[in-house]
Structure 1
Amino acid sequence: MLIIIPIQIIVFAIFPMSSTIIEWFEIFNKYPIIGLFHSDFFLMIDNILMAVIYLAFYHSLKSINKGLLQIGIIIGLIGIAAYVSTCKTFELLTLSNNYYKTTSEIEKNIIISSGQTMLAIWQGTAFDVYYVLNAITLLIVSLVMYRNSIFGKRTAIIGLITGFFMIIPSTVGFIGLIFSLISLIPWYIFAIRFGKIFKTLSV
């Protein structure tokens, strides 16, 4: 999970996000791996791993405030489910392949229309809901963590800072983009810290 984040940053710096469905088809056709990064395939993997981490947080912190933690984890899992169900990586890949296979302009126009629909679904309400719900989960987990001696107040504060910057989705214009980029810094530190603690607890 920690390896994917810097790779994603490098990929997005070298290959800017596609703005039209034709550009999406081109990136999948020429650079399939880059297409997977752009369409958040690896972010989807991250989120599946995050669901497991949420359960680990629950079992580690439930003695502090079980009720609040249950609410937080459920909110996060709902957000992850909403996101994973609308991720259109393989649909876009398939449409791209079909677009370059067909010679019919009518079929190409149909594929373009289908691709635009896929992008609207993927980058629409479900993504924003996922983003905000997981920010709330992180804030709740960090608040409970603040009272836990194993994780410590410093780790909890870093989690709270991360949650604060995640509260505005990356799709909300320039502010959302800045907040999402800033959130990566404390998130990276937070993940390293709780990862070490989980490793210690598992021994």
Structure 2
Amino acid sequence: MDAVIKQAAVPSSQSGKTVERPSQAEVEAAVRTLIRWTGDDPDREGLLDTPKRVAKAYREMFGGYDRSPAEELGRTFEEVAGYDDLVLVKDISFHSHCEHHMVPIIGKAHVGYLPDGKVVGLSKIARVVDIFAQRLQTQEAMTAQIAGAIQETLNPRGVAVMIEAEHMCIAMRGIRKQGSTTLTSTFTGAFRDNPEEQVRFISMVRGAA
């Protein structure tokens, strides 16, 4: 099993390069090293299975590298009775990890698009958010990646993405400011070209429309 895992490649790293994964044994050894680095004993009872648990948790938390946003968005529907106005999925909760300190980013995403003859299942939008969230991230990059994937695959008249998140690298270390929120947004197509569409999107996200 370890040999299979070691040979498995990650086709969708943030850099676009193929990355070879280490074996299960190598991952567990690395976790044991980190435990020692904290000053604790990896051989004490409470920590004996921690390396295995961490490896399993990382597989789950970083599963976005193994999934394709284009595949999730690939199935669309054209029987929409001519609907071509804003589709908004808001308050999509997510957990990501900061690529600088590998600590959590916890927040919610709001994603809207203006259809051009076809729509996608609403759950697919949430899944695209999860795919990019389950990678090492910066919030700015994640915001742009979500918008870019939807624009490229669906080719709508425009895409709007807003993300609000708390970064544990600020709350848990450094200046240790709990409760501060970072807000990012990006717009493509009609949203980028028409400030009124941006205002409408933001108003709907805020519940003012």
- The two structures have a TM-score, normalised by structure 2, of 0.27
Which structure exhibits the higher relative contact order, with contacts defined as CA atoms closer than 8 Å and separated by 6 or more residues? 1
- The two structures have a TM-score, normalised by structure 1, of 0.27
Which structure has the larger Rg over C-alpha atoms?
2
